[in-house]
Amino acid sequence: MDIHKLQRYDPQAVHAPTHALDDRPGPPRDQDVLLIGAGNSGETVTLRCQALGYRDGRLLPAIGINNDRLAPRAVTVCQDNGTPVSLALTDRLVLDGENPRDQLTAYPLLEERYGIVLRGIPVFETYPRAGAGGHGHPVIAALDIDLHITEVLALLRRAIRGLRDLPPDVPGQSAVQRLIARYQQRQDAAPEKHIVVIGGACGAMGNATHHLLPYLIRTVLAEHGITRYQLWGVVLGPQAFTGLTPFVRHNYRAVLEALEHMSRAGQQRTYLNDLTIRMQRPPYDRVFLLDDPTLPGEYAGVTEAELDHFLDRAAVSLSLLLRGTVWQTIASHIANDDGVPREDGRLRYLNTIQGVLIGADRAHLTEVLTRRVARTLLDQFCRRFAA
Amino acid sequence: MNALLPSHAPAPTPAPNPAGELLDAMGLTLTLPERLLHDETGQRFEPPQLQADRAPVQLLAFLMRREPVGGAELLIQENQRQVRAQLPVQLNRAFGSANVAPRALLQELLTEVRRRKDQLDARYQQHDQTYTRTQARLHTWQQHAANGSGGIGRGLIRLIFGGDARLTLPEVIALWNQREYQALQRLTWAAACDVATACLELVTDLLNRLDDLLDQAHQYAAHLEQSVPPAQRTAPPAGSWSVSIDAEVVTEALAGMRYHEGLGGDLLQRLAAMTETETLADQVQELARQEAERCLAPLSIIDLIELEARAGAHTHAADPLVLLGQAHLEALQRPTWQVCRTARPRVETLQITPDGTPIYSLDGLGSAAYGAPPDRLGFVQVQFGVALDELTLLHDGDAAFQAALQQRNLYVLEEMARTATTATSEREDMRWTDFTAANGTRDVAASVTDPTRAAGAGPVSG
């Protein structure tokens, strides 16, 4: 820590009015995208993607799932009129409560499952600090999901309901007219939905989420009759998280092996609420691995600034993929063979993305230029009229 | 002797009189009353005139009118309104572009407007007196004509041959016509006087408010100098673009361009029309914002980038847009994962422009649209189709991973944990067999904690 770089904290972001998703009088809600942030880094990238969308005049629906009560730091963005607004990820499910390992005995299903899964993990490391994260143990975060499966499904159902293209209710419209409007809309080709699960693979919650949430999401999407969709997994790490816990690289490798396993075998899993998933599908339609192999910099572990910068870049890269015709263009290109032989039979589903975005804040530009013109005008006025 | 000869030197040119020229341009001259009589097509209004050949009864009805028929009132009012409305516009435009000092010009104007107003007033007085005399004569005649007795016959006789006022019919008709003409003159000169009064009030008001406005201007300028735009107070917030156009630099570059020339005049016009609740700061702010929006409206993201680039030291360097593109394409080469040398991922690189129209040309560089808003430009590179074992992580950290796996489970999925446990047990058994064969004892602690002994274990397949 270089103490000479200590600066005063700028509380401006904290003072800006914070808006929740539901009461925000901001841009229109995008009905074709859903961002799901899991764990601290996943939630942070999700919020930053949302901020980028907000600056572009669209509200990307986003939810968070975590077993850490600490929400990602609010992000200040400017509205069209230049007014700063502090965006916070408010629609989040925090899985906390009693020591999850103590609850295992109450559920034979979980007791049997976690008897194997918790092999070698000392209780000292998983002793409850409820609501303060899984401390690098994905197994504990998975247990949290298992124990809170009802709440998790409720969160997903609520979020995915927003993806349905229900025509807006017109005042004075009768029930029959509403029904006809919905039926007519169903006849049209529904736009493809993008559900993006963003989470680190090196900690607890993001890692566990990449194992369990994809199939729960597919289940809820099927419940809502949504068949035209792309489910993407954005896996963050491992270099960017170096030094955060002792298990960073191991957890990362374990999740990649699990994704490979599920990409071959699908998933069969029973939850406490009697939901049984039997899917012969890969967890994600596309997996994007995002990392910065140059990290950490000068220290043994990543600094907060380095991590912050990495998460910013991840958000820019990901949000670019979700903009305009970017993904459509890429999809049309990769539909054709690039001529490189890859016939070894290995599964090739891993991708990565890197993006840069140059932006001009026209409201701020106008503000600065207005001040400049005003100063010129005043100067002219004073010079001319003082004589 | 030559000195006695007539001089051929040119006559001295009259001293420039900006105030007089300005008032001439504004139309505040002795010809203003005449201008007020013309309609929009240039047609002059002519007052109604009586002819003796009208029917006697109809003629009598006109001649007995107490007040003139007129008819030009609406035209004069409209013309007067237009001239008055133009006064502040022309005055402020003159202030905005004139080379003379406005305060001095205002003082000269005050003197000149007063002088012209006096002239107009004097002429109006003359026309008013003339009209009043004519009106009095006509009223006298009308009174006599109306007071006479003997019925209509006698009345007509008086009308035709002259009554007690000793005016014959042609004389009365001429008098009546004269009254209409003079009433029109009186009306136009009164309207011109009103215009002059309005101009005088405007100039006086401007002069009186000048000091107050100057105070306000100094205060607002100091406020602008001290306050800093909100976005400048902090570093770029999280969740921002990779690169932002620097508003200060662009503004500096734009300052080199000329703002709208009439801006100063527009400000004066606004100040003249300002209500009591408004301030100079409001007017300046609003006008400056309009001007800023006008300046920025035609500039695309490309223009803004070029402006910012050219404002820097590299004015004569190569195309700044190309340099910027190269820098960003280079940035895309920073690795986002670590793959083996043998891996050959498929790579797609796109430039992302507002509407998808390419800005750059390069083999292998595609193009896609960002969509609204138009102030964005980006590049994206996606690498596809890498297999799990092409990631270096799987090879570099394998030994440590296997060692850790012996101590504890690292998998979330039950089936993977079970497989890993089985594999670990088998390895333990093999190690036990090997060890007992060699030493006859079992070193449990060493087998668990020494990662080098576990390094030979093969990868655990999911």
Does the beta-carbon distance from B237 to A376 stay under 8 Å? no
| Closest to B420 (Cα-Cα) out of B393, B402, B434, B400 | B402
DSSP string, B316-371: TSS-HHHHHHHHHHHHHTS-SS-B-TT---EEEEEEEESSS--S---TTEEEEE--
ipTM: 0.86
Does the beta-carbon distance from A359 to B241 stay under 8 Å? yes
Question: Is B370 in contact with B376 (CB distance < 8 Å)?
Answer: yes
Q: Tens digits of per-residue pLDDT, B381-431?
A: 999 989 998 999 888 888 999 999 999 999 999 999 998 888 777 766 665
Does the beta-carbon distance from B238 to A51 stay under 8 Å? yes
Considering only the beta carbons, identify the residue of A368, A382, A384 that sits closest to B248: A368
CA distance A159 to chain B (A): 22
Nearest CA in chain B to A13: B237
Tell me which chain A residues have a C-beta less than 8 angstroms from the C-beta of B218: 382
Nearest CA in chain B to A321: B380
- pLDDT of res. A269: 96
Q: What is the DSSP letter of B309?
A: H
Nearest CA in chain A to B239: A48
Does the beta-carbon distance from A330 to B394 stay under 8 Å? no
Question: Is B108 in contact with B18 (CB distance < 8 Å)?
Answer: yes
Does the beta-carbon distance from A261 to B344 stay under 8 Å? no
Does the beta-carbon distance from A87 to B239 stay under 8 Å? yes
Q: Tens digits of per-residue pLDDT, B212-237?
A: 888 888 999 888 888 766 554 444 55
Tell me which chain A residues have a C-beta less than 8 angstroms from the C-beta of B237: 13, 51, 75-77
Q: Which two tokens stand for residue B224?
A: 């602008």
CATH, domain range A33-165+189-335: 3.40.50.1440
Tell me which chain A residues have a C-beta less than 8 angstroms from the C-beta of B375: 359-362
| Closest to A148 (Cα-Cα) out of A222, A216, A225 | A216
Does the beta-carbon distance from A324 to B352 stay under 8 Å? yes
Is residue B1 pLDDT above 50, yes or no?
no
Q: pTM for the complete prediction?
A: 0.72
Nearest CA in chain A to B268: A381
- pLDDT tier for residue B453 given thresholds of 50, 70 and 90: very low
**Residue positions counted in chain B:** 462
Is residue B126 pLDDT above 90, yes or no?
yes
Tell me which chain A residues have a C-beta less than 8 angstroms from the C-beta of B332: 354-356
Tell me which chain A residues have a C-beta less than 8 angstroms from the C-beta of B372: 56-57
Lowest model confidence (mean pLDDT) among A102-106, A322-326, B223-227, B259-263:
B259-263
Considering only the beta carbons, identify the residue of A117, A358, A368 that sits closest to B412: A117
Question: Is A370 in contact with B288 (CB distance < 8 Å)?
Answer: yes
Lowest model confidence (mean pLDDT) among A78-92, B343-357, B391-405, B438-452:
B438-452
Query: If you average pLDDT over each of B95-104, B138-147, B446-455, which comes out highest?
Result: B138-147
Testing the interface with A: which of B240, B393, B412 to mutate, by most A Cβ within 10 A? Answer: B412
Tell me which chain B residues have a C-beta less than 8 angstroms from the C-beta of A369: 247, 250-251, 254, 292, 295-296
Query: If you average pLDDT over each of A257-271, B135-149, B414-428, which comes out highest?
Result: A257-271
- pLDDT of res. B30: 92
Q: How far is CA B70 from CA A259, B30, B40, B81, B385, in A?
A: 98, 22, 19, 19, 94
Q: Output B130 or A96, whichever has higher pLDDT.
A: B130
Tell me which chain B residues have a C-beta less than 8 angstroms from the C-beta of A367: 229, 231, 247
Task: Please state whether beta strands A229-236 and A75-78 pair in parallel, antiparallel, or not at all (unpaired).
Answer: unpaired
Tell me which chain B residues have a C-beta less than 8 angstroms from the C-beta of A49: 239
Question: Is B267 in contact with A377 (CB distance < 8 Å)?
Answer: yes
Q: Tens digits of per-residue pLDDT, A85-103?
A: 888 998 999 998 788 888 9
In total, the C-beta contacts within 8 angstroms joining chain A to chain B are 383
Q: How far is CA A248 from CA A39, A314, A352, B47, B397, in A?
A: 14, 18, 19, 102, 11
CA distance B68 to chain A (A): 49
Sign of CA dihedral B191, B194, B195, B196: positive
Mean of per-residue pLDDT scores for chain B: 81
Does the beta-carbon distance from B460 to A257 stay under 8 Å? yes
Using CA atoms, how far apart are residues A145 and A156, in angstroms rounded to an integer? 13
Tell me which chain B residues have a C-beta less than 8 angstroms from the C-beta of A235: none
CA distance A271 to chain B (A): 13
Q: How far is CA A236 from CA A240, A255, A293, A315, B119, in A?
A: 8, 11, 12, 11, 88
CA distance A135 to chain B (A): 14
